Amino acid sequence: MANHDKYERDCRDTGGTPEECTVAEPTLADFSVDSTSFREVVSTALELSAVLVALGAFMIAASSIGAEYSSGSIANWLTFIPRRGHVFWSKLLTLIGFAALLGAFAATFVLAAGLVLARLHASPIESLRELAGLGARSILAVVGLAVLGFCIALVTRHTVGALGVLLAYVVVLFLRMGILGEREWIQRMTPWTPEGIWPQSSSTATRTPYPFRR
């Protein structure tokens, strides 16, 4: 603002037209980005929290059974209750209940935080039912990954076994999407891979964008 008149005068002195040299006073809108809708912000937050909480549930589930193997308490369990099916289902169902509670808490927390922020910033609250549905579906994703973590650690008898399978999957994912990403047969696999299915299992999105060369 301090040099505005000087710049305008210099512009005119160097032969500029009034249209070129007259710059309107900036408004607040010139310095701010476009506002993001409540629905967009909360759905992104819910999807991100679902991924993080699901990975956390995977780790907790794997370490719960992995610790029983490493400490030997699973053998102790079976000494008292020598019915393996009962022991398996009791542990798995307890874990499913825990994962469902964890997912429900996370989804509720994120939704509530979004509502509070929207109220504080006087942002219009929209699509609340749709977002609640998204939060409910994210619970399924959390439970699903917890079950997978439990089963992998049970089969490998180690928490690290489940982590190893997860890391191996990430490596395969990078190979598939990076080095081999251009191959048509790889692209055709996308609807049948967990990461291709994940958004449809946890979000309200109706489209999963994935590259497909014509």
Partner 1 sequence: MTSDGMTIELVQHTVSFGHGAIYWSILIPLVVAGSLLIFRRRDVL
Q: Which of 110, 111, 144, 162 binds partner 1 (CB under 8 A)?
A: 144
Asked whether 103 and 139 are in contact (CB, 8 A), the reply is: yes
| Kind and range of the H or E run holding 161 | helix 159-174
Find the binder of partner 1 among 11, 67, 88, 123 (CB under 8 A). Answer: 88
Identity of the residue numbered 56? G
**Residue 90 binds to partner 1 (criterion: CB under 8 A):** no
- Cα 40 from Cα 136, distance rounded (Å): 17
Q: Does 191 bind partner 1 (CB under 8 A)?
A: yes
- Nearest one of 111, 152, 112 to 134, comparing CA atoms: 111
Residues 6+ apart with CB under 8 A from 195: 173
Report which of 95, 104, 107 is spatially closest to residue 162, judged by C-alpha positions.
95
Contact call for residue 148 and partner 1 (CB under 8 A): yes
User: Can residue 201 be called a binding residue for partner 1 (CB under 8 A)?
Assistant: yes
Least distance in angstroms from the C-beta of 181 to partner 1: 11
- Using CA atoms, how far apart are residues 136 and 106, in angstroms rounded to an integer? 10
Residue 84 found at the interface with partner 1 (CB under 8 A): yes
Choice between 22 and 201, CB closer to partner 1: 201
Q: Interface with partner 1 by CB under 8 A: which range of 8-16, 17-25, 47-55, 69-77?
A: 69-77
**Tokens (6 digits) for 21:** 């040299």
Q: Give the CA distances from residue 141 to residues 41, 71, 116, 122, 175, in Å, rounded to whole numbers and listed in that order.
A: 20, 30, 25, 32, 24
Closest to partner 1 by CB, 109 or 210: 210
Q: Please select the residue that binds partner 1; options are 23, 52, 75, 179, rule is CB under 8 A.
A: 75
Give the binding-site size for partner 1 (rule: CB under 8 A).
37
Between 32 and 61, how does the x/- string for binding to partner 1 read (CB under 8 A)?
A: ------------------------------
Amino acid (one-letter) located at 189: M
Binding region for partner 1 (CB under 8 A): 69, 72, 74-75, 78, 84-85, 88, 92, 140, 144, 147-148, 150-152, 154-155, 190-192, 194, 196-201, 206-214
